[in-house]
Structure 1
């Protein structure tokens, strides 16, 4: 990781070089929110979950945008991410046909295409899993909120438990194809992290466990800035799950080593909401204050230049 070097300045230079190259690479990353609505109402969610979905006009604008992006000589790879709300609420109406269009356009121009999604997994039916293969949707992030009892208190559909249903859908997704990868994000509090997750996840077939990456993530409202110690139970759970052949992630500051600490740092990145407003961050509420622009009728993003100012400046100063 370039921690041991003869010149103490070389490692800093190396990190900023990698970061700058990632910010201005040949990859274009487009995140789409077909809706802000969701079948769950998790207490910690930062979104307001407004009703509504992408209309035909906006879908047409996004098609034009994708054609414009893929036609650029400096773009060789296109990454399509689906977010929300819950994107699977409109899988057949929006996600599938729009993904097919962009994938076909990328293949026509001999550009690389990849597709991923953040979903609660409740609507991940067998029929949806089959269609995922058509659009190259082979990477999902699904969230659990503790063991079955803890999870169902937070995530239920009008009182209907979701824990078993979601995990069964995840198993079916990974079993359908060995190329399907799943990030199982476990949201935890000090109480939840003391759960023995080796027992919670033991019924997942061993053959598909290497396809599943476990990501422990503290619920942000419970984070105490004054107390940054590792919570009791975290390392114990990670060690047990590693022995069970699950993949474990360290998606924290060390991502900087690989150049990408945050997707929003990339110049070639945009997050388009269902109302046509454009954002840079998926971890903040979707309101006018956090918006960075709009997608016009020509399929061009009209950025708010004042809000964009300074994004590169810190890295450029270090590189000079």
Structure 2
């Protein structure tokens, strides 16, 4: 029997997560945002990515390119489109490195609020390899505009919707994941909204829907925020609405392995700090090193290893969300041991 076939799913994922020929970079070109969502956990304390950090990212790509078969760059924030020139500079460099290589696969994605992602922006970024987007919607405009509020206090729904329609009506080579946030407040409006979303967008195979309950992630409004019960029967009914159209594959299912559990995935913050998780940005455990301008990495290995402990303990929950080890009240942080020869 082939050794790869003999491995369990868990072991195959572990091998993938430690492969040295793969590199996943999650880049924060700015930690500022043009929105002030009511459930947001970010503090917007850091601005645009420093020039020496941008250079460090490009040098890191150059250093690793010769040994890589797959480079994935994910853009996060803040709102990455506020620092579009940084995105374009790094993406252009990564594209050039790929063209000079015979074996390197490069792909890129972006988590964006969608306000600045119009059709022309999507077309240009697709040319630089950014071809997957996640855009959040909180229901119809009267719900969305109460929770996904612009920094100036105004609503954002209509502009985002126009941008999505422009992308749908274009031939741009991009896939759009429509992340629909579910709250007790908007749940009653969701059947009609999801029907509209399905009918308007899901005839286009470039679009998918991801239903996600809003949860408390440490933001200033957590104590006053109502969240949906995960066992609420209405949630399953909403999934059926999305699947009720012409496409049985229109509903996105998240992976069971979090990127933060993968040894070959790194978060690079705008100030050059290295991290693992995009949720626990302010948690001390999430600083695992620093990117130097020459592209070398200064890594706090004991701290880094804590994020990988689910592989050693074979704890699926810690693989799905390693951040739980640092925040869970009923889950002590496991001791990570160094094995001989590791």
TM-score (norm. length: structure 2): 0.79
CA drift of 1:193 comes to: 2.5
Matched, 1:185 2:202: no
- Determine if the alignment matches structure 1 residue 169 to structure 2 residue 139: no
Mapped to 2, the partners of 1:312 and 1:58 lie a distance apart of 25
| 1:136-191 Cα deviation digits (max 9, x unpaired) | 21100000112210101112322332112112212222432364111111111123
Q: Residues 43 and 127 (structure 1 numbering): CA distance in 2 closer, same or farther, change over 3 Å?
A: same
CA contact (8 A) 2:184 2:226 kept: no
1:248 maps to: 251
Residue 53 (structure 2) pairs with residue 52 (structure 1): no
Matched with 2:11 is 17
1:15 CA drift (Å): 2.7
The 5 A counterparts of 1:141-160 are 141-157=134-150, 158-160=152-154
Structure 1 position 99 matched with structure 2 position 91? yes
The worse-fitting range, judged by mean Cα deviation, of 232-241 and 135-144 is: 232-241
Q: How many Å separate the matches in 2 of 1:177 and 1:216?
A: 26
Of the structure 1 ranges 165-174 and 96-105, higher mean CA displacement relative to structure 2 is found in 165-174
**2:130 corresponds to 1:137:** yes
Unaligned regions of 5+ residues in structure 1, if any?
1-10
Does the residue aligned with 1:160 lie in a helix, a strand or coil?
coil
Partners of 1:120 and 1:143 within 8 A in 2: yes
- TM-score after normalising by structure 1: 0.84
**Aligned partners of 1:192 and 1:167: how far apart in 2?**
18
What's the counterpart of residue 114 of structure 1? Answer: 107
- Alignment of 1:300 with 2:296, yes or no, is yes
Root-mean-square deviation (CA, aligned residues, Å) is 2.5
Q: Secondary structure of the equivalent of 1:156?
A: coil
Q: CA deviation at 1:22?
A: 1.9
What CA distance in whole angstroms lies between the structure 1 residues aligned with 2:6 and 2:37? 40
Range 128-137 or range 32-41, more displaced: 128-137
- Does the alignment pair 1:42 with 2:37? yes
CA distance in 1, matches of 2:235, 2:6: 30
- 2:310 & 2:77 partners in 1: Cα distance? 31
TM-aligned CA deviation for residue 133 of structure 1:
2.1
Aligned residues of 2:79 and 2:112 also touching (Cα < 8 A)? yes
Residues 78-104 of structure 1: per-residue CA shift (max 9 Å, x gap): 00110000000111x211121000111
Counterpart Cα distance in 2 of 1:250 and 1:205: 18
Question: CA 1:70–1:172 in 2, change beyond 3 Å: closer, same or farther?
Answer: same
- C-alpha distance in 1 between matches for 2:121 and 2:272: 26
In 1, the alpha carbon distance for the partners of 2:229 and 2:18 equals 33
Question: What are structure 2's unaligned runs of at least 5 residues?
Answer: 217-224, 315-338
Give the aligned partner of residue 235 of structure 2: 234
Superposed CA deviations along residues 97-147 of structure 1, whole A, max 9, x for unmatched, are 210001111221221000100000001123312211211211000001122
Deviation at 1:55, TM superposition (A): 2.2
Residue number in structure 1 paired with 2:326? none
User: Take 1:283 and 1:139, find their aligned partners in 2: how far apart are those partners?
Assistant: 20
Q: Which residue of 1 aligns with 2:333?
A: none
